[in-house]
Amino acid sequence: MRSCILKFFLSLLVITGTARASQFAGTITKYGKGQCIALNRFSNDSGAKYLPIDADKETKLCGIDFNSQSIGLCAKTWSTSPGTIVYDLGQSKYSGHPETFEAEYCPQQRASKGKVEGVERLASYKQSINGQFNQRTSATFSQASPLYYHFSRYLNATVDVPVAVMRTMDAHEHNHRVTARGLAIARGGMILNGWRVVNSAERNPSGYLPVNEFYYGDPKDGLLYGTMLKGPGTRYGAEFNGDIVGRGYSEQYVFLQQTPAFLALANSEAFPEAAEAGLTESKKNRTVAKALGPNVSKEQMMFWMTEASDVYILDYIFSQQDRPGNIDYVWEWYYVDNQGKLKSIPVGSDLERNAMGSIQVPNEAKGSKALLIQKTQLNDNDAGGRRYANFTKKFSLLEKIRHLNPVTYRQLIHLATDFKAKGPLYNYLHDTFYLSNAYTGLIAQNAIQAAQILQNTCNAGTMKFDLNPEAYLLTHKAQSERLDCANPQ
């Protein structure tokens, strides 16, 4: 970890422990009256599959001390929703002088990206911001990102969802260091409206409704809360998001269904034929065809179909209203080593698909049949988890799916069964994420409905459980498993 985190562990007295927080439940790291909470995980016997690096990422996020002289906080003033960008200054000229950094760098942070030596972006920190104080804002719910993180691990999702933790902060300090500057430099539209809401909420705690979506505990204590995460990736073009530029939400979801991944998922043929048909049909849209380029491998289609199905299931469960245009990717080389094990190597490149030919094969993968894959990243998940417009449900995306990963299906059916009985998985949801009973009930209802929709397709004999990217890369075969639709093992 960078120097600020090392200094934190060496020099600061931090109280840590596993405890049930007053609202969230998890492992707490205290910073004065503020705290960071790495939320409790699904139990080991739930079938959830956390990644080996998840714990380390949680520790690093919760190891960031906002009051360290090596940490700078900048207001996010682009796109539509406000947030705080957290920087490590430990190796830069600003080390020891965060106030100078915030005055000089923050107003120019997008133009200065990569131009000031030693400044490293550590994380994004976002509060819930919805329409308040007569301001029209974008939709943001801070619990959404940790919900996506933990439930993606429960579903054994192939799509990458970043680790997310919860963080509280003194509202007066946030207003002074971040919000005031956000108000001063935001140029209008929803992003300025969002900063106006943040400013009003911080200056008038009792005015934000519901108050427990912004403040942690008694608003008189002045502790706001939000989620902190860091997700890599570059925004997809039309190859996965669809031809959505300049279109409203409903139109975006229409065009999302013209992507190769969705068209292939909706095709009832076996995987090779469905993948080919999805590609052929999607290229009828010129914008999609241009983004795809001349060649898309079957292996890439296997990843895209599996990842897209993960996205639609998660979005259905959490009533996500803002997905098209908010899906990212990273490049990864996949190859089989001398022991017959599948390995992957991330590529530090933001090149678009039509330039992928210039990405060099790493030395470790030379001599094998290495495949370059656009690996999907689901970083922007903040318009979910509460009562938003559920466009995945509105457009019946799950009803159209004809291909699934068998493990994800099994996990979803077990989740729905537990939620109906209000069993351990339901209690985990209810007790961990500081959700109202209404939001907990909505998520449970959505999960039960999602499982029933996919089970109906299974019962009709039109679902193929043939999506497994790792197995496909190893065997070059897509074999459909037979499952008991009601009780998959």
For the segment 306-335, the average pLDDT, to the nearest whole number, is 97
Q: Which two tokens stand for residue 139?
A: 């939709």
Asked if the model's pLDDT at residue 408 lies above 80, the reply is yes
Residue 241 has φ and ψ, to the nearest 5°, of -80, -25
Residue, of 329 and 16, whose pLDDT is higher: 329
pLDDT at residue number 367: 81
Q: Which residue type is seen at 220?
A: K
Asked if the model's pLDDT at residue 466 lies above 80, the reply is yes
Query: Where are any strands of DSSP class E within 206-285?
Result: 223-229, 234-235
Q: Which of 214, 209, 233, 234 is nearest to 224 (CA)?
A: 214
Q: Which of 117-121, 128-132, 168-172, 460-464 has the lowest mean pLDDT?
A: 128-132
Q: Which of 10, 121, 2, 12 is nearest to 72 (CA)?
A: 121
Query: Where are any strands of DSSP class E within 120-247?
Result: 120-126, 164-170, 223-229, 234-235
pLDDT at residue number 13: 32
For the segment 443-453, the average pLDDT, to the nearest whole number, is 98
> In sequence order, which ranges of 349-464 are alpha helices (DSSP H)?
391-394, 406-421, 424-432, 437-459
Cα–Cα distance, 33 to 170 (Å, whole number):
8
Tokens 């975006």 label which residue?
Answer: 252
pLDDT at residue number 376: 98
Residue, of 63 and 3, whose pLDDT is higher: 63
Averaged confidence pLDDT in the chain: 93
> Which residues have a Cβ under 8 Å from the Cβ of 399 and sit 6 or more positions away?
453, 457
3-state secondary structure of 227: strand
Q: Which of 18-32, 271-285, 436-450 has the lowest mean pLDDT?
A: 18-32
What order of strands is seen across the sheet that includes strand 83-88?
16-20, 25-31, 34-39, 164-170, 223-229, 120-126, 83-88, 71-76
Asked if the model's pLDDT at residue 288 lies above 60, the reply is yes
Cα–Cα distance, 98 to 76 (Å, whole number):
17
Cα–Cα distance, 10 to 36 (Å, whole number):
18
Distance in angstroms between the alpha carbons of the first and the last residue of the chain? 41
Cα–Cα distance, 63 to 349 (Å, whole number):
28
pLDDT at residue number 10: 33
Q: Which of 20, 228, 165, 143 is nearest to 435 (CA)?
A: 143
pLDDT at residue number 206: 81
For the segment 358-366, the average pLDDT, to the nearest whole number, is 92
3-state secondary structure of 91: coil
Domain boundaries, the chain: 3-229, 236-489
Q: Which residue type is seen at 241?
A: N
Asked if the model's pLDDT at residue 17 lies above 90, the reply is no
Query: Which residues partner with 226 through β-bridges?
Result: 167
The torsion angle over the Cα atoms of residues 62, 63, 69 and 73, rounded to 10 degrees, is -30
Question: pTM (2 decimals)?
Answer: 0.94
Kindly report, residue by residue over 390-400, the tens digit of the pLDDT.
999 999 999 99
Asked if the model's pLDDT at residue 182 lies above 50, the reply is yes
For the segment 279-294, the average pLDDT, to the nearest whole number, is 96
For the segment 5-24, the average pLDDT, to the nearest whole number, is 42
pLDDT at residue number 136: 87
Cα–Cα distance, 379 to 166 (Å, whole number):
16
Q: Which two tokens stand for residue 16?
A: 């840590």
CB–CB of 313/450 below 8 Å? yes
Q: Which residue type is seen at 318?
A: F
- Give the pLDDT band of residue 7 (cuts 50, 70, 90): very low
Kindly report, residue by residue over 151-172, the tens digit of the pLDDT.
999 999 999 999 999 999 999 9
Asked if the model's pLDDT at residue 12 lies above 70, the reply is no
Cα–Cα distance, 63 to 71 (Å, whole number):
11
For the segment 440-453, the average pLDDT, to the nearest whole number, is 98
Kindly report, residue by residue over 95-109, the tens digit of the pLDDT.
999 999 999 999 999
pLDDT at residue number 19: 38
Q: Which of 157-166, 199-208, 234-243, 306-315 has the lowest mean pLDDT?
A: 199-208
pLDDT at residue number 474: 95
To the nearest whole percent, how much of the chain has pLDDT over 70? Answer: 96
- Give the pLDDT band of residue 135 (cuts 50, 70, 90): confident
Cα–Cα distance, 371 to 365 (Å, whole number):
9
- Give the pLDDT band of residue 140 (cuts 50, 70, 90): very high
Residue, of 136 and 5, whose pLDDT is higher: 136
Please return the burial class of 447, using the count of CB atoms within 10 Å of its CB with bins 0-12, 13-18 and 19+.
Answer: buried
